[in-house]
Structure 1
Amino acid sequence: MKALVLAGGRGTRLRPLTNTSAKQLFPVANKPVLFYGLEAIRDAGITEVGIIVGDTGAEVRRVVGDGAEFGLRITYIQQEAPLGLAHCVLIARDFLGDDDFVMYLGDNFLIGGIQELVAAFEQGHYDAQILLTPVDDPRSYGVAQLGRSGEIVGLEEKPEVPESDLAIVGVYMFTPAVHDAVRAISPSARGELEITDAVQWLIDSGHHVHSHLITGYWKDTGRVEDMLECNRIVLESIETQVHGTVDDRTQITGRVVIEAGAVVEASVLRGPIVVGADTKIVGSYLGPFTSIGGGCTVEDAEIEYSIVMNASTVRGVSRIEASLIGKGVEVTPAPSTPRTHQLVIGDHSTVRLRS
């Protein structure tokens, strides 16, 4: 069995951060989202992985490498434009050959792994198996309708009136039968080859398509609030590890990870928190569910329930919370007189200021 990991999306909901970085490499507890998926694939016993990349392919290649760090053998497959999930299967035909495979969306975050899914697929002898989970508002997802024995009898993409509350999670199992499906379908109204259309083709052609309900936590990390929630979930499970330097004027409460080379002075840290390597925290407060990347400086500042990426500086500002701060960012106070806000903001940004 092989794996096909999709890491070519543009991440429009996370602009402007995704104007310069791959959304699949955004950190959750200081580890890229994509890494969690690759580890899940490895833990399921799969070692041959194809990664679909797009405009940010060079960054993904640089960070992930050949896969040896994960115990994987990785082949990169370039997608010239985001033409749909089924198009990814189409262009990966040579890599996939006649093997069964799992297709894993690289920006999905799934706790609990995919071992049960892979085992159920192999034991069930299905032509395809789709991972599903109940959601409060199915209108934002692909939605599945099930038969009495758990077989999928129909799919709808973001329906106005959903037939069920079962959303399609970004993990799919396929036999080579799907290659006929992706060649048979036509682009949707948005110009993409939809994987839901390919699965529906399998159903209509008499193939056995089964469901698998997840029992763990799942989130599509396409929005800032989703990233922060995933960060919270992972930080809930960390154990205290202090490899950096903490002075005796610092108060630490709860579970805190301080990576090698980090320095914490005269600060208050209330975990769970992760502080990255070679970061300096001085005279500051870090509240629960905060991740500070490597090479950062936080001085005379307060940060809670936030993600700060590598090489950023936050100095002299109070109470930053529920925020996602990119790489190499500088956050400092504006001049006190006149009482104004001084901003340099990229396209498609969101800024919330106190009046």
Structure 2
Amino acid sequence: MKIIVPMAGRGSRLRPHTLTVPKPLIPIAGKPIVHRLVEDIAGVINQEIEEIAFIIHKDFGKQVEVELIEIAEKLGARGVIYYQEQPLGTAHAIMSAKESMSGPIVVAYADTLFRADFTLDTEADSVIWVKQVEDPSAFGVVQLNDKNQIVDFVEKPKEFVSDLAIIGIYYFKSGETLRSELQYLLDNNVVKGGEYQLTDGLENMKEKGLKFVPGKVDEWMDCGNKNVTVETNSRMLGFLHNDGEHLVDYDVKLENSTIIPPCYIGKDVILINATVGPNVSLGKGSHVVDSAIKNSLIQNHSHIKNAKLDNAMIGNHASFDGNFTSISIGDYSVLE
């Protein structure tokens, strides 16, 4: 099994945090989004992962590539880096990794996390991860027949046709078949809105009689902007806490301070006259003094003083001393 992760976009809606770090490497409960994503996929497919192919932009830099290779290796897989130079659509992005499109593959976009408990139907030609939503008009959705097979894909329906939204994770029994269909789109300039769309390839596959089935997830968590990323961090902390995962480093130094779970507290964190939690991720090497923090995501080596934070997101090596509450500041920022 191979996993292909298109992640060449910078994530402009999550600025300033994505000015220095690609969105998929933003930590959620102490691990990069993309790390948690591929871990969750590995748990669902229950098969050995041979390779994880990451599709990035060259501007991300060598350090990002090193981190991605390490993520793959931690799962016992080979990491491969591909580049997408231009944002020409979902099909174009996937085809940037066409050399890896062989055998069974999972394609997963690295801006979403999920929780699921279903068995992957490896006899199907394709499985499309979906989540029941209240407002399907904002999403691409699938329609099912009475055999629980997908019979149509509808993009942002104005009238109700289905409430099963496509979350951006797909299984294909044959990577070669998908590659052939997407190559057809590129060769024949089949575009919508100036972009090559994966859904056009899926529609062609369906018309040829390939069997598509849904994989329904229990939770779908977005990381599109600051507010939903902080919310996703809180929800993930809750799930991990309920799973019994140890989230607070044993070396945290407490002085007249309280941690209210669920929280992730990294290595070498110092808390002085502080209350942290619930729903806080605090990266390694950070210091919090004379502050109260809840429902917030703070990355590595940041210093927080005289603060009362709620729904805040703070980058790496930042310094904050003040009475603002709901803030979003990027790496190396100083507010004093």
Q: TM-score, normalised by structure 1?
A: 0.81
2:82 counterpart of 1:77: yes
Find 1:58's aligned residue among 54, 59, 62. 62
Deviation at 1:281, TM superposition (A): 0.9
Q: Distance in 2 between matches of 1:280 and 1:73?
A: 37
Corresponding residue of 1:164: 162
2:271 counterpart of 1:284: no
Partner SS for 1:310: coil
Corresponding residue of 2:333: none
- In the alignment, structure 1 segments of 5+ residues that lack a partner are 241-254, 335-339, 347-355
Query: Do the aligned partners of residues 279 and 313 (structure 1) sit closer, same or farther apart at CA in structure 2, a change above 3 Å counting?
Result: same
Corresponding residue of 1:212: 215
Counterpart mapping for 1:1-355 below 5 A: 1-43=1-43, 44-45=46-47, 46-54=49-57, 55-56=59-60, 58-66=62-70, 67-97=72-102, 99-112=103-116, 116-117=119-120, 120=121, 122=122, 124=123, 126-174=124-172, 175=174, 176-185=176-185, 186-189=190-193, 191-214=194-217, 216-238=218-240, 257-317=247-307, 319-333=308-322
Corresponding residue of 1:248: none
Deviation at 1:260, TM superposition (A): 4.6
Query: Do the aligned partners of residues 344 and 70 (structure 1) sit closer, same or farther apart at CA in structure 2, a change above 3 Å counting?
Result: closer
Q: Distance in 1 between matches of 2:93 and 2:157?
A: 23
Q: Distance in 1 between matches of 2:312 and 2:226?
A: 8
Percent identity over paired residues: 29
Q: Deviations over 1:31-58 (max 9, x none)?
A: 1111112223444222222111124253
- Would the aligned equivalents of 2:3 and 2:52 in 1 still touch at CA under 8 Å? yes
Query: Do the aligned partners of residues 59 and 11 (structure 1) sit closer, same or farther apart at CA in structure 2, a change above 3 Å counting?
Result: farther
- Would the aligned equivalents of 1:130 and 1:173 in 2 still touch at CA under 8 Å? yes
Q: Distance in 1 between matches of 2:214 and 2:247?
A: 39
Give, as a single letter, the amino acid of the residue that structure 1 aligns with 2:52: V
Q: How many residues align?
A: 317
Deviation at 1:226, TM superposition (A): 2.7
Query: Do the aligned partners of residues 200 and 57 (structure 1) sit closer, same or farther apart at CA in structure 2, a change above 3 Å counting?
Result: farther
Q: Distance in 1 between matches of 2:7 and 2:251?
A: 31
Give, as a single letter, the amino acid of the residue that structure 2 aligns with 1:288: P
- Would the aligned equivalents of 1:42 and 1:71 in 2 still touch at CA under 8 Å? no
Give, as a single letter, the amino acid of the residue that structure 2 aligns with 1:51: F
Query: Do the aligned partners of residues 286 and 18 (structure 1) sit closer, same or farther apart at CA in structure 2, a change above 3 Å counting?
Result: same
Give, as a single letter, the amino acid of the residue that structure 1 aligns with 2:253: V
Corresponding residue of 1:243: none
Q: Distance in 2 between matches of 1:144 and 1:206?
A: 16
Partner SS for 1:65: helix
Partner SS for 1:160: coil
Q: Deviations over 1:233-290 (max 9, x none)?
A: 33224469xxxxxxxxxxxxxx984315431111122111121111111111112111
Query: Do the aligned partners of residues 295 and 266 (structure 1) sit closer, same or farther apart at CA in structure 2, a change above 3 Å counting?
Result: same
Q: Distance in 1 between matches of 2:328 and 2:33?
A: 28
- Would the aligned equivalents of 2:313 and 2:329 in 1 still touch at CA under 8 Å? no
Give, as a single letter, the amino acid of the residue that structure 2 aligns with 1:233: R
Query: Do the aligned partners of residues 104 and 150 (structure 1) sit closer, same or farther apart at CA in structure 2, a change above 3 Å counting?
Result: same
Query: Do the aligned partners of residues 344 and 78 (structure 1) sit closer, same or farther apart at CA in structure 2, a change above 3 Å counting?
Result: closer
Which shifted more, 291-300 or 218-227?
A: 218-227
Deviation at 1:291, TM superposition (A): 1.0
- Would the aligned equivalents of 2:116 and 2:216 in 1 still touch at CA under 8 Å? no
Partner SS for 1:35: helix
Give, as a single letter, the amino acid of the residue that structure 2 aligns with 1:80: E
Bigger radius of gyration: 1
Q: Distance in 1 between matches of 2:200 and 2:247?
A: 45
Deviation at 1:184, TM superposition (A): 2.7
Deviation at 1:59, TM superposition (A): 4.2
- In the alignment, structure 2 segments of 5+ residues that lack a partner are 331-336
Deviation at 1:221, TM superposition (A): 1.7
- Kindly report the root-mean-square deviation, in angstroms, between the aligned alpha carbons of the 2 structures: 2.7
